[in-house]
Amino acid sequence: MEDIDVLRSELIATVNGAADLKALEEARITALGKKGRITQLMKGLGAMEPEARKAAGARLNAVKDAVAEAIEARKGDLAGAAIDARLMGERVDVTLPVRPGQDGRIHPISQTIDEVVAIFGEMGFVVAEGPDIEDDWHNFTALNIPPEHPARQEHDTFYLPGVGADGGRMVLRTHTSPVQIRTMKGTQPPIRIICPGRTYRCDSDATHSPMFHQVEGLVVDEATHMGHLKGCLIEFCRAYFGVDDLPVRFRPSYFPFTEPSAEVDIGCTREGGQFRIGRGDDWLEILGCGMVNAVVLENCGIDSSRYQGFAFGMGLERIAMLKYGIPDLRTFFESDLRWLRHYGFAALDVPSLVGGLNP
């Protein structure tokens, strides 16, 4: 019988020396295949004496196991090397110019955020941001939202494991209002901010998404009143939709964090089965607003006998759909390049009130 120790050394050396997966498979067949060297030796055990057969069988099995382990180890090394080689071969130099006819497009939501920031920036607002994961106090309690409010229910809000500093549950923020709370707690009035960002609610259909975008605004000072709120939002609506005489109306409503509260409608028409924003015989609600509730100011450490302010909020997908004729909200998040090429914007279409908001 062939020297088993020499055989073991030769086979393991062949396995370790395999340059690729193909060579490794050939080494496996040579050692363990139907006509492999170990297999042939196993077949010859039957002609040996019982005691010799037992000893030789044990040694051959040990060699077989050692070779199999070496093959698996080498296979892992070669597979990792193959992936690394593939990644290097498919590497893209992002500093290179794009291919002709393959220009990237700006997503409508990114464009809408830039448009909103440009308009309110001209009014003196600054952008404020905050975390997507909030505690119960910042997301609900500080905003005067009572414990029994429907917005706090499991069917409307994404709750997370763990508790916040106040002992309340952690949530994916349901609006960007917690940014207002954090700003009021950390900043002395006067305050003039807008808060664009992602928000999350348990809802999904053609006009709702579990994750969507909002922009909210807040002004707090000693002289602000409802007339300032109305003037600010009327100018925004007319600038955003590009209609200088756009009708805007304010309807009384209720929100726990504002008092008085209102919903804002813009004029539209549906004549001839076509929808158009502007003067017409119909109205369309687009946002909510109101004067900041004194309770909210006090919760943030602001003296409500001295300061007052207004707040407003709107869905960015909603106003983008209205302005650019996008029929289904869900398509914003489907990563369809054909959709993006149709509704997207050129990289240099940067919105501004000077250059224009409507490319």
Give tens-digit pLDDT for 222-262.
999 999 999 999 999 999 999 999 999 999 999 999 999 99
- In this predicted structure, what is the pLDDT of residue 207? 66
Percent of the chain whose predicted confidence (pLDDT) is above 90 = 48
Domain of residue 182: give its range: 108-343
**For residue 53, is it within any domain?**
yes
Residue 358 has pLDDT above 70, yes or no: no
Cα separation values, 338 from 43, 89, 110, 208, 343, Å: 63, 28, 17, 22, 9
CB crowding 5-38: b at 16 or more within 10 Å, else e: eebbeebbebbeebeeeeebeebbebbbeeebbb
Phi, psi of 206 (to 5 degrees): -65, -20
Largest Cα span, the chain:
108
- In this predicted structure, what is the pLDDT of residue 31? 84
**For residue 339, is it within any domain?**
yes
**Considering only CA atoms, which of 168, 225, 213, 243 is closest in space to residue 329?**
213
Using alpha carbons only, how large is the chain's radius of gyration in Å? 34
Residue 355 has pLDDT above 60, yes or no: no
Higher-confidence position of 167 and 280: 280
The answer to whether 40 touches 94, Cβ cutoff 8 Å, is: no
**For residue 96, is it within any domain?**
no
- How far, in Å, CA of 348 to CA of 100, rounded? 16
Most confident of 7-11, 50-54, 127-131: 127-131
- For residue range 92-151, list pLDDT tens digits in order: 777 877 666 667 789 999 999 999 999 999 999 999 999 999 998 999 999 999 888 777
In this structure, the answer to whether residues 177 and 122 fall within a common structural domain is yes
Which one-letter amino acid corresponds to residue 134?
Answer: E
In this structure, the answer to whether residues 134 and 55 fall within a common structural domain is no
**For residue 133, is it within any domain?**
yes
Which one-letter amino acid corresponds to residue 157?
Answer: T
Q: Is the bond preceding 190 in cis, omega lying within 30 degrees of 0?
A: yes
Q: What is the CA 130 to chain-centroid distance, rounded?
A: 15
- In this predicted structure, what is the pLDDT of residue 78? 82
Q: What is the CA 202 to chain-centroid distance, rounded?
A: 15
In this structure, the answer to whether residues 118 and 244 fall within a common structural domain is yes
**For residue 359, is it within any domain?**
no
In this structure, the answer to whether residues 112 and 248 fall within a common structural domain is yes
- CB half-sphere exposure, 345, CA atoms < 13 A: 20
Higher-confidence position of 306 and 29: 306
Most confident of 204-218, 273-287, 304-318: 304-318
In this structure, the answer to whether residues 17 and 160 fall within a common structural domain is no
- How far, in Å, CA of 61 to CA of 39, rounded? 10
Residue 331 has pLDDT above 80, yes or no: yes
In this structure, the answer to whether residues 67 and 122 fall within a common structural domain is no
**For residue 102, is it within any domain?**
no
- In this predicted structure, what is the pLDDT of residue 39? 81
Average pLDDT over residues 175-185: 95
Residue 194: pLDDT band (50, 70, 90) is very high
Neighbours of 336 (CB within 10 A): 12
Domain boundary, last residue among 43, 60, 89 = 89
- In this predicted structure, what is the pLDDT of residue 233? 97
In this structure, the answer to whether residues 265 and 180 fall within a common structural domain is yes
Residue 353: pLDDT band (50, 70, 90) is low
Average pLDDT over residues 191-204: 91
In this structure, the answer to whether residues 38 and 141 fall within a common structural domain is no
Higher-confidence position of 127 and 61: 127
Q: Report the residue count for the chain.
A: 359
Residue 59: pLDDT band (50, 70, 90) is confident
In this structure, the answer to whether residues 186 and 271 fall within a common structural domain is yes
Residue 162 DSSP label: E
Percent of the chain whose predicted confidence (pLDDT) is above 70 = 94
| Global model pTM greater than 0.85 | no
Domain boundary, last residue among 89, 118, 141 = 89
Give how many domains the chain has, as a whole number: 2
Residue 352: pLDDT band (50, 70, 90) is low
Which ranges in the chain belong to alpha helices (H)? 4-16, 21-32, 37-43, 50-89, 108-122, 136-139, 177-186, 226-241, 294-299, 316-324, 337-343
DSSP-assigned beta bridge partners for residue 207 = none
- How far, in Å, CA of 256 to CA of 140, rounded? 10
CATH of the domain at 125: 3.30.930.10
**For residue 358, is it within any domain?**
no
In this structure, the answer to whether residues 75 and 128 fall within a common structural domain is no
Residue 297 has pLDDT above 90, yes or no: yes
In this structure, the answer to whether residues 66 and 113 fall within a common structural domain is no
Of 87-91, 191-195, 309-313, 335-339, which gets the smallest average pLDDT? 87-91
**Which residue has tokens 């900043």?**
187
In this structure, the answer to whether residues 17 and 158 fall within a common structural domain is no
Neighbours of 135 (CB within 10 A): 23
**For residue 286, is it within any domain?**
yes
Average pLDDT over residues 273-288: 90
